[in-house]
Structure 1
Amino acid sequence: MTTITINPSGIQFSVKEGETILEAAERNDISFPFRCRQGVCTACVCKTVNGEVSYGGRDESTLLTQADNEQKFTYACIGYPITDMTLHHPFIK
């Protein structure tokens, strides 16, 4: 299991193997913004403070834009944490 910390709220929750960040947040009754669950709408996007994420075999070169990479965005709806992560999302309380 990995641990996700959301700043600035300080919320922490565990993510089971094979579970996305969004799925784990829902399992822990955390109100996490989302719409599409496909990495398209960007409602769930968080800025990565530290840690690493995988997109389950999706081609990141077509999934992530240059701006996504430069700003260190993580798509929580399709992201599987590889390590413990600290993410920033101003609307998660």
Structure 2
Amino acid sequence: MPDLQLFLDGVPLAARPGQTLGAALTDAGIVSWRTTRNARRPRGLFCGIGVCFDCLLMVDGVPNQRACLTPARDGMALRTGADEAQEARDA
């Protein structure tokens, strides 16, 4: 099956049909995409089943979507919502 193309903060990212956003991000080597409010600690997938809310993203303009539960669709625009997320991804 052909790859899907997502955009994380405007940067193209490949995904496979049937993957969740969290799986696509992890496959791309991105393990954190947001930080906690106070301590600014990196967050990404933790529980992987929608319980912990560590993997939140803005998806196509809708905030607070759980990456572990949201299926990837071609052309999705994903926003980390924070400049600090880039620092967390680079760590």
TM-score, normalised to structure 1, is: 0.61
Provide the residue aligned with 1:23 in structure 2. 23
CA distance in 1, matches of 2:5, 2:76: 6
Correspondent of 1:48 among 54, 59, 62? 59
Question: Among residues 72, 76, 83, which one is paired with 1:85 in the alignment?
Answer: 76
Q: What RMSD, in angstroms, separates the aligned Cα atoms of the two structures?
A: 2.0
Structure number with the bigger relative contact order (C-alpha 8 A, sep ≥ 6) is: 1
- Unpaired runs of 5+ in structure 1? 51-70
In structure 2, list runs of 5 or more residues that go unmatched: 33-43
List structure 1 segments (4+ residues) > 4 angstroms apart after TM superposition. Answer: none
Distance (whole Å) between structure 2 residues aligned to residue 3 and residue 43 of structure 1? 23
Question: Any idea what SS the aligned residue of 1:81 has?
Answer: coil
Is structure 2 residue 28 aligned with structure 1 residue 37?
Answer: no
Question: Given that residues 14 and 24 in structure 2 are in contact (C-alpha distance below 8 angstroms), is that contact kept between their aligned partners in structure 1?
Answer: yes
